[in-house]
């Protein structure tokens, strides 16, 4: 799930810790997705 698409949905549901695993290092699409998760988690005051 992209955090940009979810608009912080995980945080709205009460998630306090969120993990985004990058299976293939240097895969730009995965790094971008996890960056979105980090940004959205910061807005929702959740740990990544």
Q: What's the pLDDT tens digit per position in 2-48?
A: 545 454 677 677 778 888 888 898 899 888 888 888 887 777 766 66
pLDDT at 27: 92
pLDDT at 46: 66
Q: Structural domain tally of the chain?
A: 1
pTM of the model: 0.64
Contact between 46 and 18 (Cβ < 8 Å): yes
Helices (H), the chain: 3-6, 9-12, 28-43
Contact between 11 and 43 (Cβ < 8 Å): yes
How far the first Cα of the chain sits from its last, in Å, is: 14
Residue 10 placed within a domain: yes
Q: Which two tokens stand for residue 13?
A: 């549901």
Residue reference for tokens 């998760």: 37
Residue 35 placed within a domain: yes
48 or 1: which carries more pLDDT confidence?
48
* Structural domain for 34, as ranges: 3-43
pLDDT at 5: 46
């Amino acid at each position: 799930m992209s955090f940009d698409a979810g608009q912080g949905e995980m945080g709205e549901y009460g998630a306090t810790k969120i993990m985004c695993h990058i299976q293939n290092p240097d895969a730009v699409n995965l790094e971008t997705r996890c960056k979105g998760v980090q940004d959205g988690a910061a807005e929702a005051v959740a740990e990544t």
